[in-house]
Homo-oligomer: A and B are copies of this chain.
Amino acid sequence: MFSGAQVSVYPMSDDFVDIILGAIKALEPWRDRLRLETDHLSTLMVGPPEVLFPAMRDLFLAATRSGVHTTMHATVSRGCPGEPDDPICTPATAVAPGLPLAQRILACRDAVMTAPRTGQTIAAQLSLYPLGFGHHMDEIYGCIEFLKGSGTFDRSKNFCTALRGDAGPVFETLNQAFTGFGSGAGHIALDVTLSANSPSAA
């Protein structure tokens, strides 16, 4: 198994360099459980989902504390047949353990309900891509059903679903969408955009 993300943080400020460099320090507590590589487009974070999503949450929260309108984009992937297995990616808990869809939806919701809160409200929109099999829309529709009852659902959009809420439950919703749908060992990609401190947010 290989899992990870290409992550970019965009502070809409003349001080974007300092805000980004400051925010990356929030990854320090996670460094022994992640492999990180940064270039001018994104930071590669390689590790299991239960580390990736809290680490991305801490990175984004650190950037939002500047108070400026900040967005983050992540391309998250697991099980890509073109990537080598990497021991750092082994999840502590089973991913998508083969339960029926209805049971997975309930388990994912339970996990979001108990997520620690952070005090920072954020918005997000995500697209989930279960790859390599013919009934991918069943898993996508199941994921959307989970999202609608997650407590972080904002609204449906073309090509994606918008979330809104405290950053803790929102990132746990992303984690559950990524690990709870598609096949357990299959190839899944998640495309997510996050936003905070927007002057035009409702």
Asked if A136 meets B127 with Cβ closer than 8 Å, knowing A159-B75, A159-B77, A193-B8, the reply is: no
How far, in angstroms, from A201 to B42 measured CA to CA in the complex? 11
How many copies of the polypeptide does the oligomer hold?
2
Q: Are the C-beta atoms of A132 and B134 separated by less than 8 Å? A: yes
> Which residues on B sit within 8 Å (CB–CB) of A132?
134, 136-137
Chain A window 109-146, contacts with chain B (Cβ cutoff 8 Å), 1 for yes, 0 for no: 00000000000000101010111111011001100000
Q: Are the C-beta atoms of B41 and A137 separated by less than 8 Å? A: no
Chain A window 10-24, contacts with chain B (Cβ cutoff 8 Å), 1 for yes, 0 for no: 111110110000000
A162 is an interface residue with CB less than 8 A from chain B: yes
Chain A window 39-71, contacts with chain B (Cβ cutoff 8 Å), 1 for yes, 0 for no: 111101010000000000000000000000101
A81 is an interface residue with CB less than 8 A from chain B: yes
> Which residues on B sit within 8 Å (CB–CB) of A44?
157-159
Q: Are the C-beta atoms of A12 and B16 separated by less than 8 Å? A: yes
Q: Are the C-beta atoms of B69 and A159 separated by less than 8 Å? A: no
Residue of B nearest to A16 (CB): B12
Residue of B nearest to A20 (CB): B12
Among the listed B71, B127, B134, B157, which residue makes an inter-chain contact with A10, where contact means beta carbons less than 8 Å apart?
B71
Asked if A81 meets B127 with Cβ closer than 8 Å, knowing A193-B8, A202-B40, the reply is: no
How far, in angstroms, from A132 to B83 measured CA to CA in the complex? 21
Among the listed B13, B162, B189, which residue makes an inter-chain contact with A13, where contact means beta carbons less than 8 Å apart?
B13
A175 is an interface residue with CB less than 8 A from chain B: no
> Which residues on B sit within 8 Å (CB–CB) of A17?
199
A160 is an interface residue with CB less than 8 A from chain B: yes
A179 is an interface residue with CB less than 8 A from chain B: no
Residue of B nearest to A77 (CB): B159
- 18 more CB-based (< 8 A) A-B contacts, given A6-B125, A42-B157: A4-B159, A6-B158, A12-B12, A12-B16, A14-B14, A39-B157, A40-B198, A41-B193, A44-B159, A46-B158, A73-B73, A75-B159, A75-B193, A81-B137, A83-B158, A131-B136, A132-B137, A189-B191
